[in-house]
Structure 1
């Protein structure tokens, strides 16, 4: 029983610290991978750890701390870009439900969304399971198994 408690404790600690080091974001472009568009299909994509993404040459010392999704229409063609973000503010007024929108001449439209509420938040509605939720669910199941034996 002590070994089981130790394993559950380690799982909880790892899930808490694992999420504290940085955000993970989807990184893709719909012009090279159609699954990157909307609806988003991450079945063949790996999620990028933004803490591991290098600095940009034009932003020395700035680290990626958010995710972003860019949706743009150029001459009638939609393109989607998902990546780690270095600058900006999540959503508008910190409300991630809202994105910045810009229009231009020659039928150009751009929507720029940033978020940092959870890993993979630039997936456009994909519900992801938090590691802490998995740990708590595991604890409950272990407890229930022990009680009803």
Structure 2
């Protein structure tokens, strides 16, 4: 019976992990979207529910945060990401930076490690710690 409870918990956790939820906002529309990010007034977006017509059936599997400086004005854009890879060569700690002419700077940070990973600095509970804690308590109860 203990193994059944652990299997059910693991299935529930992994079933919700197949889609990602990301913050979706723009700092030019709401200043709380800039850094430091204040997510108290934003609802997190289920990227599985978003469809972009020009991408066909492509599903979003990542979150993206774009920081751009155009003519001295900083903007932040947080959204679901459809193309690319997390971070640089799979390492989410690094962002892709681009500069251009006419005083333009852009930084793309892409992640898929957890829901809401496009906050920039979110402290959260480790999924593996949560799973092991639940399994431990279920083991002791049964």
**What range describes the TM-score normalised by the shorter chain of this pair?**
0.7 to 0.9
Relative to the length of structure 1, the TM-score reads 0.80
2:49 aligned to 27, 31, 52, which one? Answer: 52
Q: Which moved more, 1:44-53 or 1:77-86?
A: 44-53
- Partner secondary structure for residue 58 of structure 1: helix
Residues 60-139 of structure 1 mapped to structure 2, 5 A cutoff: 60-130=56-126, 133-138=129-134
Unaligned runs of 5+ in 2: none
Deviation track 1:61-97 (CA, whole Å, cap 9, x = no partner) reads: 2111110000000111100000000101111111111
Moved over 3 A (4+): 5-13, 130-144
- Partner secondary structure for residue 73 of structure 1: strand
Relative to the length of structure 2, the TM-score reads 0.83
Q: Distance in 2 between matches of 1:74 and 1:119?
A: 29
Equivalent residues, number: 141
Is the 8 Å Cα contact of residues 5 and 138 (structure 2) preserved in structure 1? no
1:18 aligned to 16, 20, 27, which one? Answer: 16
1:30 aligned to 22, 27, 30, which one? Answer: 27
Larger radius of gyration: 1
